[in-house]
Structure 1
C-alpha cells in the first residue's frame, strides 16, 4: 500500500526500547460532500471509523467488521486502497515502551442510512457516535481542538492529517 506518512512521537527513539506493532484499518466513506466519521465527545474530535485487526483476520475483513460495529454500516464494499499512515508512540503499559501503529486506509462504499452500531464499552463511555459530516467542517473542528484543548487524544494528529489528504486527493471542495 502507498505510504502516506510516518510520524514519530518526539519523546521516543524508535531504536531504543521494546515495541510492538498494531495493525489497524480505517474506512473512507464519502456521500456527496459528506464523509462518515466518528465523533468522540471525550476528546472533542472527529476520526475515521475503523480499528484494530484481530488475529486471523485480513486487513480487509477487519475493516469491514470495525466499520459495521462502530457505525452500523451496511452493504460495505471496499473500492480501493488509499494509503498507509504509520506512527510510533510511547506505550503506557508495562510490557512495551513503544507502539508502532500501522493504519491501512481504504475507500469504501456503504449505504447512506446506517444501522445499529455495536460499540465497545470504552467507546460508549468516550461518547463515540457515527456522523456524516462535511470534511472541511471536520478538519476545522479538529484544528480548533488541537489549538485549544488539553483533553485531546494522540490520534487527532493522525486523523487531521488523513482528513486533509482525503480532501486534497479526492478533490472534495
Structure 2
C-alpha cells in the first residue's frame, strides 16, 4: 500500500520536472545559437593574406567561391614571400595574369571567423594592383578562371554594390569607399570571435 502511495506522489511530480527540463533545454538552445559553444577554447589559426583591387572599365575584379561568398582576388602569403609576390603567384594561378605590380597600399583588414571548428585570425593587406590592359581585356566582360572552385566577375565599386554582393571581409565596402574618397590607407578590425576569448 505504501509503495502505491509513493508511486502516485512520484507521478504527480513528473509534470513539474518535465517543465523544468524543457526550460533548461530552451536556455541551452538560446545560448548555443547566440554564442558558439567552446569558441574560447578553439584552436586559433593565423593567416596573413594579400588582396588585390584590380580596376578596368570603371569596375573592379571580384572573386567568388562557388556556392559561397565573394572576396577580393588574392590569397595567403607564404613563408619567404612578399605581399606583391603572393599576389603575382595567386593571380597567375587563378587567372593566368602575368604582369602584376602592386602600386598603392590601400589598407589593412583584420578580422576573425570560424572555420572547421577553428578560430581564424586573418590579417589582409590590400593593394591597388596594376595589370596591362592587353591582359585584362581578355577577361572582360567575362573573366575566365583557371581554378574550378572559383568564379570571377566585374563590379562597380560602390559601397552599396559591395555590401549587396557580400564581398568579404566585412570591412571591404568601407575600406574601398573610404580610400576612393580620401586617397589614403585605412585600418579596419572586426574581431568578433577573438573578442570573446579568455585573456591569458
Give the TM-score normalised by structure 1: 0.65
C-alpha separation in 2, matches of 1:12 and 1:88:
16
C-alpha separation in 1, matches of 2:123 and 2:60:
22
Give the strand-richer structure, 1 or 2: 1
Distance change (3 Å), C-alpha of 1:24 and 1:17: same
C-alpha separation in 2, matches of 1:157 and 1:40:
11
Distance change (3 Å), C-alpha of 1:170 and 1:74: farther
1:18 matched to 2:71: no
Q: Using CA pairs under 8 Å that are at least 6 residues apart, name the structure with larger relative contact order, 1 or 2.
A: 1
Q: Mapping of 1:1-173 within 5 angstroms?
A: 11=36, 17-43=42-68, 45-93=69-117, 97-111=118-132, 112-114=136-138, 117-119=145-147, 124-125=148-149, 128-136=150-158, 138-139=161-162, 141-142=164-165, 156-158=167-169, 161-171=171-181
Give the helix-richer structure, 1 or 2: 2
In structure 1, the gaps of 5 or more residues are: 1-9, 144-155
In structure 2, the gaps of 5 or more residues are: 1-34, 182-200
C-alpha separation in 2, matches of 1:98 and 1:74:
34
CA contact (8 A) 2:71 2:168 kept: no
The residue matched to 2:173 in structure 1 has which SS? helix
The residue matched to 1:139 in structure 2 has which SS? helix
C-alpha separation in 1, matches of 2:50 and 2:164:
23
What value does the CA root-mean-square deviation take over the aligned residues? 2.9
Please tell me whether Structure 1 or Structure 2 has the larger radius of gyration of its CA atoms.
2
Distance change (3 Å), C-alpha of 1:11 and 1:59: farther
Count of residue pairs brought into register by the alignment: 140
- For 1:57-97, what per-residue CA distance to the aligned partner results, in whole angstroms no more than 9, with x for missing partners? 2222111111222222232111021111111223415xxx4
C-alpha separation in 2, matches of 1:64 and 1:12:
39
